[in-house]
Amino acid sequence: MDIRVRHASHAYGGLAVLSDIDLVAPAGKILCLVGPSGCGKSTLLRLMGGLERPTSGAIELVGAPPSGCLNELTFVFQHFALLPWASVEGNVRFVLDHHRLSEAERAEIVADVLARTGLADFAEAWPRQLSGGMRQRVAIARALAVRPAVLLMDEPLSALDSQTREILMEDLVGLWTRAPFTAVYVTHNLAEAVRLGHAVAVMSRRPGRIREIVAIDTPLSERRPDDPELERVQARLWSLLRDEAIDADRELVDG
Amino acid sequence: MVDLSPARQPREADARPVPFRGGGFAPGRNRWAGLVVFVALIAFFEVGTRTGVISSLTMPPPSAVAQTLWRLVETGLLWQNLGPSLYRLAMGSLVGCGAGILVGFAIGLFTLARAGLVPLVSALFPIPKIALLPLFVIWFGIGEGSKVALIAFGTFTPTVVATFGAVDGVDRGLIRMAQSFGVPWLRIVTRVVLPDALAGILSGLRVSLAIGIVLLVAAEMLGARYGIGAYILEAGALYDLERLFAGVVILSVLGLLVSAGIGALERRLLRWRG
Amino acid sequence: MTTLATTRRSVLAGIGAASTLPFLPRRARAATPLNLGVLRLTSHAPNYIAYERGYFAEEGFEVELVFFEAAQPMAVAIASGDADFGVTAISGGLVSLAQRGAVKVIGGALAEEPGIPGQVVLASNQAYDSGLTTAAALPGHTFGITTAGSSFHYMLSRVARGEGFDIAQVEMRPLQKVGTIVAALGSGQIDSWAIVPSISNRLLAEGQAKKIADMSQYAPDYQVTTVFTSSAIANDDRARAEAFLRALSRGVNDYNAAFVDKTANAEEQAELAALVGQYVSPDVPAERFLETMTTTSMRINRDLGLSVSSVRDQLDWFKAEGMVPADVTEEMLIDPSFVATF
C-alpha cells in the first residue's frame, strides 16, 4: 500500500509549517525524510499518520493493506512511548487487546514479534529495567505486532547513543530484508538516511517544501558504514542541506 | 603519544586535597531517629507529670493514658466507639473520594466539565465544612446521614483537585501513541490515563483521608452517642484528660494506619516505578 | 476591653451619684479587677443586675464580664485563671476539675421550688403525636443533651429514676449546644428534652414542642446551678470570695423580688428586665422580654444558699455512671463555709 501526499500545506495559527508538499511513499520501500530542524518533517509524519489534519491538500492511501493488517498507519516514536506500568509483553499486548483475536492468536503474535526483535527473554521486564536500545526494540516489536501497512518512524534512533544506533540500524535492515515493510523514516541524521532509505526526500527550512528526492539503489543488506558510494550520497545530501541548516539555526524560535 | 606531564613540577608541599563542597540537601533515611524522638517525648511527659513539674490540669501521665487505652480494649468500649467511626469514615470517604475521582476525571477529560465544574470546585474548596454541619443535619437527618455527608463533602473537593491535576499531568505522548494504534477512547482512559494519574490520585487520597479523620470528630459533635470523635468530645466535657488523650492517640493511630495503607497501595499499584 | 469596661463604669458612677448609693468613697480606693464568667441566659440575670447596678463596684471590684457559649468552657476558664467566678450547672467536667484541685463550689444559685416556674420535659410535636405524651413513655425515644455528664443528662436520669425505667432505654443525642438542641427538637430530629422555663415557654408558645412533665415532680430540691471559683481564691482569698458573694446576693435579691416573688413594683421589673435584656436577648422587644422574665423566672437561692443534699445526689450519680472517678469526695467539690447550706 502506498501513502500519497497531495499539495498538503499546514499552519499552526498563522505560522506556515509545511507548504505544498507532494510526496509518495511507495509500498515495500523505506522513504527517509531529512531536513534542518524545525522544517516540519515530524509534522508531515503526523499528517501522514492521521494524528493531525492538513490545513489544505490531502493525504491518501493507495491500494489495499496487507492481509491481517490491524493498524494501517503505525508510529514508532523517538521517545519510545512505552507504558511504564506494563511489562514488555504487556506493552505489545496493549495494542492488540482491542482487536478481535483469540488468545492463541494474540500469544502467537506476541511471541513472534518478541522473537524477531530479540526480546523473547525480556517479556516480563519493566521498561525502566531496559536500556534505551532495548526500549526502542520493544516499540518496534509493538509496531510490528499490528502488521502495519506503513510504519511511520519519527527519529526512532535519535534518543540513543551512537553504538546502540548502529546496532539498531542493522536490526532494522535485517527485519526489512526478511520481511520488507513500507516505512516513512524521519531523521536529521544523514548517515541513518543513507543506510536505511531507498529514497531520501530533502526538505527546505520552514515553511517546509520538498527540495529534492534522492534515490539510493544499493540494496539495504549490502550497505556498509564505510561504503564510498553511500558517503558520496551523504555528501550530496549535506550540500543540499547545509545552507538551509545554517539559516534555520539563526532563526528566532518563535519568530 | 601526547605528552601530558606538567610543564613545571610543583613541590610536593604544595599539594592539598580538593575541598569537598557537595554535601547536604539529601536527607537520608533513619528508622530510629523518629522512634527516639517519640520515646524521649513520652519519657519527658511521664517524668514531668509524675514529679508534678507538669500540672495534672495540663497533661495526664502517658502511663495513665496507656492504662485507659488498655481498659478501652478490655471492656470492649474501643470497638463500640471505633466501629461507628470506621463506618462513617469508610462510607464518607468512599462516597467523597469516589465522586471526587469521577468528577476529577471528567474535568481532566472534557472541555465542558472543565469549564463548568472548575469554578464550582474552587468555590466549594474553601468552605469550612464544619460550618455546614447544622445544615447537613436538616438535609440528611441527625443519624448517620449527616455524618457521612460531612466526611464525603470534606474529602470530595481535595480529591477532585488532586485527580484533575494528575489527569492533566498524564504523558500526552502516551495518549498520542494509544490513539495512533487505534485504541478506543474508554480503553485509553482506563489503561493509559488512569495508571499514569494513579500516583497523583493516591497522594491526593492521603490528604483527603487525613481531612476525613479531622472531620470525623466534627461530624460526631452532633448526635453521636458512640464514635472516637464523640468519645473525645465527651472526655473533654468531663475534663477527663486520660480519656481525651486516649481518644487522640486512637485518632493518631488511625491516621498512621490510613497513611500506611495508602503507602502499601502505592507500593503495590506503582510497583513499576521501582 | 478594659477601656470599654471603665467607660461603662464611669457612666454607672454618674447614675450612682444621681441615686443615693454611697459607693463613690469605696470606689476611690484601688479597685480589684475581677473577671466574671457569664452565659447569655436569664438564669444569669443576677450577675448582670449586680454589674449594672454597681453592686460589684461597691465591693471594690472592677468587673469585666467574660462571655461563654456553654458552661463547660467557663469551668475550664476558671480552672486556668482566665475567669475568677462563674455560675453554672454541676457537670462532670466541673467535678473533674474540682477533683484536680482547680475549682470549688462556694454557693448555690438556680433551684427547683414547688409553685415557682421550673424546668420542664418537652416532647417534639412529631413524637407527641405518635404517643410520647408522658415522661413514662420516654423509653425507645431520643433525648437531647449537650454532652454526657451535663445537667440534661442528669435530669434524664432523675426522670428515669422517678418513672422507674432504665436510662439506657432512652437514646441520648449529644448535640453540644443548647441552640442546636432547640433546632433539633423543633424539626423533630430528636424526640425529647428537658430545659429551663425561659426557653421551654418560648418553644411551647411558638408551638414547636409539647410539655410532658415538670422536673420538680422528679427532683423537687434540685440545685440546678452553683456559684464556683478557683480553689486558689476559695482557699487563700476568702475575703474576696465573700465580697463577691455579698455583691451577687444583692443582685439575686433584686431578681427574686422582681421576677420570682413579684414583690417589686412594675417600674422596678421593667428596669431590671431592660438591664438584663441587653445582654441576654438584645433582639427581643423590651415588653416581650419583661413578660418572659416575669412568667418564667426560676428561684435563685436567697443569699446564694446551697442545697448540699442535691449536690451530693448529683455527685453520687456522676460516680455511679463512671463519669468521674469514684474517689471524688464532697469536700473536693464543695466549700460549704461561705453560704448557708441545707
User: C225-244: per-residue pLDDT in tens?
Assistant: 999 999 999 999 999 999 99
Q: Which chain A residue is nearest to residue B188, measuring alpha carbons? A: A94
The domains found in chain B, sorted by start residue, are 73-269 (1.10.3720.10)
C202 and C294 in a common domain: no
Establish if C257 belongs to a structural domain.
Answer: yes
* Lowest mean pLDDT across B10-24, B219-233, C37-51, C188-202: B10-24
What CATH number does residue C284 fall under?
A: 3.40.190.10
Q: Report, as an integer, the average pLDDT of B178-191.
A: 93
pLDDT in tens, chain A (255 residues): 888 999 999 998 888 889 899 999 998 999 999 988 878 888 999 999 888 899 999 999 988 888 888 998 999 998 999 999 999 999 999 999 999 999 999 999 999 999 988 899 999 999 999 998 899 999 999 999 998 889 999 999 988 888 888 889 998 999 899 888 899 999 988 989 999 999 999 998 888 889 889 999 888 888 887 888 889 999 999 988 887 778 777 776 654
From C197, C217, C237, the end of a domain falls on C217
Instruction: Note whether residue C340 is domain-resident.
Output: no
The residue-averaged pLDDT of B131-138 equals: 80
Q: Alpha-carbon distance A138 to A168, whole Å?
A: 12
Does residue C89 lie within any of the structural domains?
Answer: yes
Is residue B204 exposed (0-12), middle (13-18) or buried (19+ Cβ within 10 Å)? buried
Q: What is the mean pLDDT of residues B87-92?
A: 95
Asked whether the beta carbons of A48 and A152 are under 8 A apart, the reply is yes
Q: Are residues C72 and C150 in the same domain?
A: no
CA separation, residue A56 to residues A86, A89, A212, B11 (Å): 39, 40, 22, 75
C224 contacts C91 by C-beta, under 8 angstroms: no
Q: Are residues C238 and C212 in the same domain?
A: no
Q: Is A126 on the interface with B (CB under 8 A)?
A: yes
Is B181's CB within 8 Å of A97's CB?
no
Among B147, B239, B244, the strongest candidate for a mutation testing the C interface, having the largest count of C CBs within 10 A, is B239
Q: Is A245 on the interface with B (CB under 8 A)?
A: no
Across the interface, do C183 and B134 touch by the CB < 8 Å criterion?
A: yes
Report the candidate in B89, B79, B99 with the shortest Cα–Cα distance to residue B148: B89
Regarding whether C105 and C7 lie in a shared domain, the answer is yes
The residue segments making up the domain with residue C86 are 2-112+223-333
C39, containing H or E segment: strand C32-39
A74 closest CB neighbour out of B181, B187, B270: B181
Closest CA to A22 of A210, A212, A213, A214: A210
- Does residue B222 sit at the C interface (CB-CB below 8 Å)? yes
Q: Is the pLDDT of residue B260 over 70?
A: yes
- Residue A143 belongs to a domain: yes
Q: Is 70 exceeded by the pLDDT of residue C12?
A: no
Question: Within 13 Å, how many C-alpha atoms sit on residue A182's CB side?
Answer: 24
**Phi/psi at C172 (5° precision):** -80, 140
Q: Which chains have at least 3 CB atom pairs separated by less than 8 Å from chain A? A: B
Q: Which of C147, C149, C139, C118 is nearest to C192 (CA)?
A: C139
| Cβ contact A42:A186 at 8 Å | yes
Check whether residue C252 and residue C312 sit in a common domain: yes
Classify residue A208 by its DSSP letter. B
**Does residue A7 belong to any structural domain of this protein?**
yes
How much is the average pLDDT of B237-259? 91
Find chain C residues with C-beta within 8 A of B242's C-beta. none
**Hey, which chains touch B, using 3+ CB pairs under 8 Å?**
A, C
Three cell numbers written together for C57 = 463596684
pLDDT for the residue C5: 42
The pLDDT, as a whole number, for residue C8 is: 43
Q: Do C96 and B238 touch (CB under 8 A)?
A: yes
Q: Cα separation of C315 and C94, whole Å?
A: 11
Distance of CA B242 to the CA centre of its chain: 26
Residue B140 has pLDDT above 50, yes or no: yes
Q: What is the DSSP string of A15-47?
A: EEEEEEEEEEE-TT-EEEEE-STTSSHHHHHHH
C247 touches chain B (CB under 8 A): no
Residue A200 lies in a domain: no
Contact B89, B151 (CB under 8 A): yes
Q: Verify that C232 and C303 share a domain, yes or no.
A: yes
Q: Residue B272: its pLDDT value, please?
A: 84
CB contact (8 A) between residue B180 and residue A73: yes
Count the domains in chain C: 2
- Written as nine digits, the cell of C225 is 446551678
ipTM confidence score: 0.86
- Closest residue in chain B to residue C325, using alpha carbons only: B240
Q: Do A85 and B274 touch (CB under 8 A)?
A: no
Report pLDDT digits (tens) over C105-143: 999 999 998 888 899 999 999 999 999 999 999 999 999
> What percent of chain B has pLDDT above 70?
96
What per-residue confidence (pLDDT) applies to C194? Answer: 94
CA atoms of B257 and C164, how far apart (whole Å)? 45
Within a domain: A195: no
Residue B134 has pLDDT above 80, yes or no: no
Domain that holds residue A177: 2-190+206-235
pLDDT range class, residue C25, cuts 50, 70, 90 = very low
| Range B209-234 average pLDDT | 89
Could you tell me if B15 lies within 8 Å of chain C, comparing CB atoms? no
Q: Is residue C2 pLDDT above 60, yes or no?
A: no
- Residue B242, chain C, CB below 8 Å: the answer is no
Interval C135-154 mean pLDDT? 92
Sequence-distant (≥ 6) Cβ neighbours of residue C79 within 8 angstroms: B57, B239, C97, C100, C102, C103, C230
* Length of chain A in terms of residues written: 255
Give yes or no for C307 touching B (CB within 8 A): no
Give me the DSSP letters along C218-262.
T-TT-B-EEEEEEHHHHHH-HHHHHHHHHHHHHHHHHHIIIIIS-
* Interface contact A81-B176, CB threshold 8 A: yes
Instruction: Give the closest-approach CA distance of C73 to chain B in angstroms.
Output: 8
pLDDT of residue C11: 42
Q: Who among A79, A84, A146 is closest to B181 (CB)?
A: A146
We report the CATH number of the domain holding residue A92 as 3.40.50.300
Q: Are residues C93 and C236 in the same domain?
A: yes
User: Cα-flanking dihedrals φ and ψ of residue C205, to 5°?
Assistant: -65, -35
Q: Do C92 and B240 touch (CB under 8 A)?
A: yes
Is the CB of C180 less than 8 angstroms away from the CB of B222?
A: yes
Q: What is the C-alpha separation between C299 and C114, in angstroms, rounded?
A: 10
* CA A114/CA C28 separation, integer angstroms: 102
User: How far is it, in rounded angstroms, from Cα A218 to Cα A237?
Assistant: 16
Average of pLDDT values for B13-19? 83
Query: How much is the pLDDT for C221?
Result: 87
- The pLDDT score that the predictor gives to residue C21 is 42
C314: closest CA among C223, C227, C229, C231?
C223
Question: Which residues have C-beta within 8 Å of that of residue B185, sequence separation ≥ 6?
Answer: none
Q: Are C144 and C107 within one domain?
A: no
For the CA atoms of B227, B229, B234, B237, the dihedral, rounded to the nearest 10 degrees, stands at -170
Neighbours of chain C (3+ CB pairs under 8 A): B
User: Nearest residue on chain B to C187, judged by CA atoms?
Assistant: B138
Check residue C239 and give its pLDDT: 92
Residue C339 belongs to a domain: no
pLDDT digit string, tens, across residues C67-86: 987 777 888 899 888 999 99
Predicted pLDDT of residue C107: 95
A51 close to B (CB below 8 A): yes
Residues of B in contact with C76 (CB under 8 A): 239
Q: Taking a contact as any Cβ pair under 8 Å apart, which residues of chain B between 40 and 69 contact chain C?
A: 56-57
Distance from the C175 Cα atom to the nearest Cα atom in chain B, whole angstroms: 4
CA of A15 vs chain B CAs: smallest distance (Å):
23
**Per-residue CA distances from C83 to A29, A225, B153, C56, C64 (Å):** 93, 94, 38, 15, 9
> Chain C partners of B237 at a C-beta cutoff of 8 Å?
72, 91-93, 146-150
The partner residues of C62 in beta bridges, in order of sequence, read C33
Closest residue of chain B to A90, computed from CA coordinates: B191
- Tell me which amino acid residue C193 is: W
Minimal Cα distance from A75: which residue of B? B180
pLDDT for residue B211 is more than 90: yes
A245 in any annotated domain: no
Same domain membership, residue C227 and residue C315: yes
| Chain A CB contacts of B181 below 8 Å | 71, 74, 94-95, 142, 146
Q: Which of residues C183, C217, C251 is at a domain's end? A: C217
Whether residues A84 and B191 touch (CB distance < 8 A) is answered with: no
Q: Where are the alpha helices (DSSP H) in chain B?
A: 31-51, 62-75, 77-109, 111-124, 133-140, 144-168, 172-180, 185-188, 194-219, 228-237, 241-269
Chain B residue with Cα closest to A127: B272
- Gap from A236 CA to chain B (nearest CA, Å): 34
pLDDT for B4 beyond 80: no
Residue-wise pLDDT for C284-322, tens only, equals: 898 989 998 999 999 999 999 999 999 999 999 999 988
CA dist., res. C113 & res. C108, Å (int): 13
Lookup: cell for B87: 463506618
Q: What pLDDT score was predicted for residue C138?
A: 95
- What is the pLDDT at residue B31? 77
Domain annotation covers residue A58: yes
Q: What is the dihedral of CA A122, A128, A131, A135, to 10 degrees?
A: 70
Cα–Cα distance measured from residue A17 to residue A10, given in angstroms and rounded to the nearest whole number: 6
Tell me what pLDDT residue C63 has.
94
Please count the structural domains in chain A: 1
Residue at C72 is within a domain: yes
Distance CA C266, CA A31 (A): 109
Rounded Cα–Cα distance for residues C83 and C71 (Å): 12
Instruction: Give CA–CA dist A16/C280, Å, rounded.
Output: 77
Distances (CA, A) of A242 to A188, A198, A202, A239, B26: 12, 22, 11, 5, 47
**Grid coordinates of B97:** 473520594
Distance from CA of C134 to the nearest CA of B (A): 23
Residue B1 at interface with chain C, using a CB cutoff of 8 Å: no
The mean pLDDT of chain C is 87
Structure confidence by residue, pLDDT tens digits, C179-221 = 889 988 998 989 999 998 988 988 998 999 999 999 999 998 8
Q: Do residues C93 and C229 both lie within one domain? A: yes
Q: Are C59 and C13 in the same domain?
A: yes
